[in-house]
Amino acid sequence: MEKGNILSCRILIIILTAIIMAACNDLDTDKSDNNISLYYQSTDSLNNRNLAFAEKTLRQLDKTADQDSNIYYLSQCLKGKMAFINNDTEVINNVRTLLKNFLKRNNSSHNEIKDVIRVEYYSIEGLYWIKCVGNTDSTYKYFNKAYMLAKNTKSIPNSSMVNIIINLADTYKQTGQYDQAIIYYIEAAKKAQREKQNYNNVIAIYMGISIAYTSMGDFKMSEKWWDKSGQYWSHMNSNDRFIYLNNRGHDYYQRKQFERSRYYLEKADSMLSDKPEDEWNKMFVRVNLSDVYIQLGMYDKAEAMIHVTEAYFQKQKYLIPLHYLKTQRMTLDQKRRGIPSENYLSERLIADDLDNVTGVTELKRLRLQALINHYAEIGDCRRLYSAGETLRMLDDSLRNNNMRMRFTTLVKDYEHDRRLLQQQRQIERHKQNFIITAMSVVFLLMFIIVSTLVLLLKRRQSKIKETKLLKKLMVMRMEIIRGRITPHFIGNSLNIAMNDQMEGKPVDLTPLVKLLRMSTETADTLFVSLDTELQFIDYYVTVMSSSLGPDFKYNKNIECDMDTTHIMLPSMTLLTFVENAVKHGLSKLPDTMEKTLAVNIRRHDKGVRIEVVDNGSAKKEAQTTNTNIGLKIIRQTLMLLNEKNKEKMTFGVGNIESGHGFMSWLYIPDNFTFTNY
């Protein structure tokens, strides 16, 4: 009996111990869940700039957490995020080190709270690499890790998941992958719809999409999304309003609407206080503002701002704004004194800036443009050609990438609209079947008639949407075709100037600079006025005249009462004719023979006929446009334009039948319209 009692007591003790341990585990689990929930409430308060609640939570976590416990490292995550708001890099680096060592020690240990800490650590690392270093590759690495782990972690709330996706979308935006950025912003928007009355994420998403379209150069779409973002102005906190004003000012800067850009940037600058937490943003907006002042000729204001911001970012050792500010100094010196200070033109400085700063393609482009202006003014043709080639390749890359990304977003928009239309049709079919079943035979015929009319209307609307999409795709194709011709002329013009300089001939680079500037400004312009095209030809002929000898004569014969400012044509079309006349005709004549080039403009039938005539030798090879890149592009351009016009634009080339020479001509009907593009 005694042995039986002893055995029963032991079993009872084991059962009670198991119950107590299970209860303790439940308490620990509840405690962890409560702390995780409290942590994310604090991060949400940080997004709303409610620092007081976050500081209170941090004190509470520090008070209850044991050293080296999970709760302790969760509190360190909160401390790290607060340090970003206060721009305290020392605290940020301490938190990074603590979390990194903790996770390294617990590499194989996984539970909900440790996975939350991992997600937050990856997010902190991503913020560090983008905000403190400017390295977008490392930023993408950590934000992507946070995104992949957060998808499989149940304790991550929806609001935090939205922020993680926004961070990843922001990274794609920073690296120039704007189509991918928009895809992730849309994913974040879908999740944000579950957060009723939570405007913070919606504002961040809308502004992210706006910035992406601005960077792609699609200003029609950027204007649409900026207007949507502006509708939430009353719900924005001070940081959101700063981002909105600063980036909308940048949008107008990209459009070269500098006065409107100045309005938004000055408004952003004025709303920031002199507190330490606002100093970083204040200096950033002043970097943008100083460039606007340069463009508007307000040089004293620009120099004062450059001086202040340079000192600040040199102290912070942040390369991206310093690179931009050095380019601004070059441009400012050029505009004030004609030639920039040699201090900003050393080969070492230029190479360091271009090679060590990542994700700043637009800054490289601005620097190259400043160098082109400088080399042109001092007459250094070799470096002018090298910088021009680099800028051309960079512009081609940017243009092609933007076209690809705009095409991708258009296709996705089209697919989205098509899916919605299919869903609507399915819903309508269900409704129709229900109504047909419920209605009597008397109303059956009427229902069929009405349903048929509705379907026809929907199909018509669908066709209109498809037509608009095809129209946008056609415009992109035309831009790609037109973009191929500009590098062709720039290369030929620079070669002529370099040859003249090597032969010891006097070289006046002023017309060449104007030609390069005009070609850059019209690179993305599909159509120009005849007056603008004639100016382009004048600059080109001036550049080429030195290679044609003293007996070269150039005439323009314009019929009386003809207003060339109101006659439109595809850009660089006549310049192609003139270049062919010089290259294939006049340049092959003996030096002792007189060379003539004439541009004749007159009324012909119900339109305008423009002729480019030279007295060069007959050119059988030029009669076939497939052998000349310029004429091939003209043919492709006219084919696209003529699709939308009843009266067709035509052109031709050939030898002059009545005498010695060659003629190229273009005919433009009076009622030819370019507005469809």
Burial string for 287-320 (b: 16+ CB within 10 Å, else e) reads bbbbbbbbbeebeeebbebbeebbebbeebebbb
| pLDDT reported for residue 246 | 92
d(CA 556, CA 300) in angstroms, rounded, equals: 44
Please report, for residues 540, 579, 635, the alpha-carbon distance to residue 492 in angstroms, rounded to integers and kept in the order given: 10, 9, 21
pLDDT interval class at 45 (50, 70, 90): low
pLDDT in tens, 558-613: 998 889 999 999 888 898 899 888 888 888 888 788 899 999 999 998 899 999 99
d(CA 505, CA 550) in angstroms, rounded, equals: 13
CB atoms within 10 A of CB 133: 15
Mean of all residue pLDDT scores within the chain: 77
What is the arithmetic mean of pLDDT over 24-38? 54
d(CA 408, CA 182) in angstroms, rounded, equals: 10
d(CA 479, CA 527) in angstroms, rounded, equals: 11
Phi (first) and psi of residue 82, to 5 degrees: -65, -35
- Residues 543 and 549: beta-carbon distance below 8 Å: no
Non-local CB neighbours of 590 within 8 Å, separated by 6+ positions: none
What is the arithmetic mean of pLDDT over 14-33? 48
Is 68 strand, coil or helix?
A: coil
Which of 258, 176, 174, 245 has the alpha carbon at shortest distance from 216?
176
Of the candidate ranges 102-106, 241-245, 605-609, 621-625, the one whose mean pLDDT is the lowest: 621-625
Categorise residue 633: left if φ over 0, alpha if ψ from -120 to 50, beta otherwise: alpha
pLDDT interval class at 292 (50, 70, 90): very high
**Using the 8-state DSSP alphabet, how is residue 338 labeled?**
S
Which of 44, 23, 1 has the alpha carbon at shortest distance from 161?
44
**Using the 8-state DSSP alphabet, how is residue 132 labeled?**
I
d(CA 575, CA 572) in angstroms, rounded, equals: 5
pLDDT in tens, 633-670: 788 788 878 887 889 999 999 888 766 788 999 999 99
pLDDT surpasses 50 at 415: yes
For the record, the structure tokens of 587 come out as: 């340049």
Q: Is the dihedral of CA 570, 576, 581, 585 positive or negative?
A: negative
**Using the 8-state DSSP alphabet, how is residue 505 labeled?**
-
Could you tell me what percent of the chain has a pLDDT over 70? 73
d(CA 484, CA 366) in angstroms, rounded, equals: 21
| pLDDT reported for residue 475 | 56
Is 7 strand, coil or helix?
A: helix
* Cα Rg of the chain (Å, integer): 34
Please report, for residues 47, 159, 245, the alpha-carbon distance to residue 50 in angstroms, rounded to integers and kept in the order given: 8, 16, 22
Please report, for residues 223, 384, 495, 507, 539, the alpha-carbon distance to residue 510 in angstroms, rounded to integers and kept in the order given: 38, 13, 16, 9, 9
pLDDT surpasses 60 at 221: yes
For the record, the structure tokens of 140 come out as: 């993408």
pLDDT surpasses 80 at 162: yes
What is the arithmetic mean of pLDDT over 432-456? 81
Look at strands 552-558 and 595-604 and give their pairing. Answer: parallel
- Residues 100 and 117: beta-carbon distance below 8 Å: no
Non-local CB neighbours of 407 within 8 Å, separated by 6+ positions: 473, 476
Question: pTM to 2 decimals?
Answer: 0.48
Which of 194, 208, 127 has the alpha carbon at shortest distance from 166?
208
Is 529 strand, coil or helix?
A: strand
**CA terminus-to-terminus distance, the chain:** 103
pLDDT surpasses 50 at 308: yes
pLDDT surpasses 60 at 27: no
Which of 363, 321, 329, 365 has the alpha carbon at shortest distance from 346?
329
What is the arithmetic mean of pLDDT over 154-175? 84
Phi (first) and psi of residue 615, to 5 degrees: -100, 25
Please report, for residues 93, 170, 480, the alpha-carbon distance to residue 399 in angstroms, rounded to integers and kept in the order given: 39, 21, 8
Non-local CB neighbours of 553 within 8 Å, separated by 6+ positions: 594, 595, 596, 597
Of the candidate ranges 131-135, 172-176, 350-354, 564-568, the one whose mean pLDDT is the lowest: 350-354
Where does residue 356 rank: exposed (0-12), middle (13-18), buried (19+ CB within 10 A)?
A: exposed
Could you tell me what percent of the chain has a pLDDT over 90? 14
Q: Choose between 294 and 86: higher pLDDT.
A: 294
Q: Provide the H-helix boundaries in 69-218.
A: 70-86, 89-105, 112-128, 136-150, 158-174, 178-192, 199-216
d(CA 81, CA 86) in angstroms, rounded, equals: 9
d(CA 58, CA 643) in angstroms, rounded, equals: 67
Look at strands 568-570 and 552-558 and give their pairing. Answer: unpaired
What is the arithmetic mean of pLDDT over 285-293? 91
**Amino acid identity, position 412:** K
